[in-house]
Structure 1
Amino acid sequence: MSLIKYQILVKVVACGSFTKAAGQLGLTQPAVSHAINSLETEFGFPLINRNRSGIQLTREGEILLPSLRRILQEDRNIHQQASEIHGTTRGTLHVGIFTSVTRHLLPRIIQVMDKDYSGIRLYLHEGNYIQIMEQISAGKLDCGFITFSVSKDLRCKPLMRDRILCIVSPRSALYHQEAVSFRQLEEEPFIMPAFGGYHEIRRILSEHDVHPDIRFELMEENAILSMVAHHLGISILPELVLPEDIAPLRAIPLESESYRTIQIATRLHPSPAAERFVEVAERVVKKQEVSSENRSHQ
């Protein structure tokens, strides 16, 4: 059956090895080689170049791979829809995640998924926003968390707003302020975040015509906090990336509150399992917001 051959080819490409793919699929290495050879005979051209350094898709193989992934995804969708007709939801779900979502939202989402949709098996893939968007569009991921989208191939739903705060050390002239003006960001050395949130930080600075004195650019938020703690500059970071206690540092709101919007993205025609995941994510975020509002009024 061609679907099995397609699955084998996609797995070989993902593993970069016939032997590894055979192990993950529970097949022998000759069976995997036979399936690839059969596909190449069926299509009339080579799909994979084999050499001492490993394997590599041919130009023709690269052209076909996205379509093969879409076919396999549609096959999974059909089986998930069939299970829904029987009153259950089953299948696998590949989800793109980034650090702050993993820390604050994902554990509760997984708990609810395990309780309400135990037939769905989750696979988590860490990456930055661009990688997650590209992998959803390519069919490698079913859904994922992002903060902005430039793709017309994705369906995005906003989940929550995450404040952008100014991080300062006790030696900073800003330390005792209740809010920091955008002009004040230009008055001290600045540690520029260069991780996934880089886009939001650049956007906010550009919108307010701010040109900070950038001393360092760092990918890792803990490294940024360490630089600030050693009095080497100030920074601005999303609230969700911060530890619960950053003392003796302070996280101070900006004069005009700025946010990044955390969204969940799927393909335009998501699988039933992806739709269930989106519903659960929205439910969890709403419940957390209600709990937070109740605590603030106590």
Structure 2
Amino acid sequence: MSLVKFEIFSKIAEVGSFTKAADSLQLTQSAVSHAITSLEKEFELTLINRNKTGVTLTNAGEHLLFTIRKVLHYNEKVYQEAASLNGLSKGTIKIGIFTSVSMKWLPDIIKIMEAKYPAIHIELKEGDYFEIEQWLLSGEIDCGFVNITQSNQFDIMPLKNDPLLCIVSNQSELYNKPVVTFEDLKKVDFIMPSYGGSHDVKRLFEAYNVQPNIRFELMEETAIMSMISHHLGISILPEMVLDSLPKQLRAIPLEVNSYRSIGLATRYNLSPAGRKFAEITKDWLSGKEQ
């Protein structure tokens, strides 16, 4: 059985399209279609539903996808281990990232990786905490930056505690306060960050029994800051996203030390290329914080 067919099937599941899969793998669309037809004949199962709006996996396809990705992972790992035994480092590593990490950390880390291990190819996939965890579980990525949670599904290497700060405009009654209290938060309109997975702000409010007056829920930090700039409320955001804080806004500490804990989550049996990336990431952050 050809592993190429597995790779094609996995890529179609990832991008949801025969055409996009063909473009990504640099194959013709007919070659991709033929590979899936051949795979379905071998298994005597329909793996993909084809319709006018795109493609979806059948129940059988969903069931087999996880195992197929494990096969691809171990196939890649065999070649990486062999290269390692020959004193070489090469292979592909797929990494899940969220915006602030891609902006603040990844450029320097990737430069170091490319300088030290030019034969290791890095693929990035951007999402929120929940999406990254799901990609790890499904085998779509090898490792990913996450907001640390207690999980026995994968290994997590702690990296940074990123302070949570209250963002207010210069027209807010809180603007000149040295710290913002939870009582303060109950008295003003609040713009809630909206994303899947571990939610630092909601967890903070639950821990201290705060019921804010939520006016809007937005996913993009830049949109949240724009709303605050127009005096439509306040919010709480992690320090790492505040480099572009408009001059009319101020970031104020909360009355208790609050932060999101960022870590690198990895699948068990991480490949040699993945281990190299994890080591460089940890070393770079350690040097940055000294």
- 1:38-117 pair list within 5 angstroms: 38-117=38-117
Aligned to 1:284: 284
Using structure 1 for the length normalisation, give the TM-score: 0.90
Aligned to 2:127: 127
Once the 2 structures are TM-superposed, how far is the Cα of residue 214 of structure 1 from its aligned partner? 1.5
One-letter amino acid of the counterpart of residue 279, structure 2? E
Report how many aligned residue pairs link the two structures: 290
One-letter amino acid of the counterpart of residue 48, structure 1? I
One-letter amino acid of the counterpart of residue 170, structure 1? N
Cα separation, partners in 2 of 1:196 and 1:283, compared to 1, 3 Å: farther
- Give SS of 1:162's match: strand
Percentage identity across paired residues of the two chains: 48
- Give SS of 2:277's match: helix
Do the aligned partners of 2:145 and 2:263 also contact (CA within 8 Å) in 1? yes
| Bigger radius of gyration among the two | 1
Superposition CA RMSD, Å:
2.0
- Give SS of 1:288's match: helix
- 1:181-196 pair list within 5 angstroms: 181-195=181-195
Cα separation, partners in 2 of 1:23 and 1:232, compared to 1, 3 Å: closer
Do the aligned partners of 2:149 and 2:198 also contact (CA within 8 Å) in 1? no
Cα separation, partners in 2 of 1:86 and 1:58, compared to 1, 3 Å: same
Using structure 2 for the length normalisation, give the TM-score: 0.92
One-letter amino acid of the counterpart of residue 180, structure 2? V
Once the 2 structures are TM-superposed, how far is the Cα of residue 58 of structure 1 from its aligned partner? 2.8
Partner deviation per Cα, 1:122-162 (whole Å, 9 max, x = no partner): 11111000000000111101111111335422111110010
Do the aligned partners of 1:136 and 1:143 also contact (CA within 8 Å) in 2? yes
- Give SS of 1:250's match: strand
Cα separation, partners in 2 of 1:72 and 1:198, compared to 1, 3 Å: closer
Aligned to 1:227: 227
Do the aligned partners of 1:133 and 1:149 also contact (CA within 8 Å) in 2? no
Gaps of 5+ in 1: 291-298
Within 2, Cα distance between the matches of 1:231 and 1:95? 37
Range with greater deviation from structure 2 (54-63 or 185-194): 54-63
- Give SS of 1:121's match: strand
- Give SS of 2:257's match: strand
Do the aligned partners of 1:172 and 1:231 also contact (CA within 8 Å) in 2? yes
Cα separation, partners in 2 of 1:16 and 1:220, compared to 1, 3 Å: closer
Aligned to 1:243: 243
Q: Does 1:179 align with 2:179?
A: yes
Aligned to 1:295: none
Once the 2 structures are TM-superposed, how far is the Cα of residue 22 of structure 1 from its aligned partner? 4.0
Within 2, Cα distance between the matches of 1:266 and 1:187? 42
Aligned to 1:139: 139
Do the aligned partners of 1:40 and 1:47 also contact (CA within 8 Å) in 2? yes
Aligned to 1:162: 162
Once the 2 structures are TM-superposed, how far is the Cα of residue 85 of structure 1 from its aligned partner? 0.7
Do the aligned partners of 2:225 and 2:245 also contact (CA within 8 Å) in 1? no
